[in-house]
Amino acid sequence: MAESMEPSRTRISLVGRLDGAVVGFVMARADVGDFGRTEPVAVLDTIGVDPAYARRGIGRELLARLLDNVSQLQVERVETLVRVADLELLGFFQGLGFAPSQRLPFVREIGA
């Protein structure tokens, strides 16, 4: 709730429908900056397609519409995180023009 009230953030959510059924979704947030950056960037949080509708271009269409929406917000870049082992998702994003960034995320497990 606190995140949604933050004035520097805009949430973007889209739902894909086909034949009256919800078949996919995408959620992102546009920020004016994070981690000391000041340029506008959108962070793709979640994308999903019903497995029964996989490989029909639904994910591509949802992402295309998301990119259209965030470009209207003057966003200059879209970022997301993908597990290295998720080759199918890596291929999906690379096929849409995404490339590895020069930023390296660091994570520390609590209690480790």
Look up the CATH number of the domain holding residue 87. Answer: 3.40.630.30
Long-range contacts of the stretch 3-8 (C-beta < 8 A, 24+): 3/29, 8/32, 8/33
Number of structural domains (the chain) is 1
Q: 9 has which bridge partners? A: 31
Domain residues for the domain of 27 are: 2-95
Could you read off the pLDDT of 71-90 as tens digits, one per residue?
A: 888 888 999 999 999 999 99
> What is the model's pTM?
0.78
Contact 29, 41 (CB under 8 A): no
Residue 74 lies in a domain: yes
pLDDT digits (tens, 9 = 90+) for 89-111: 999 999 999 999 888 888 888 98
Whether 103 is in a domain gets the answer no
102 lies in a domain?
no
By the 8 A CB rule, do 21 and 55 touch? no
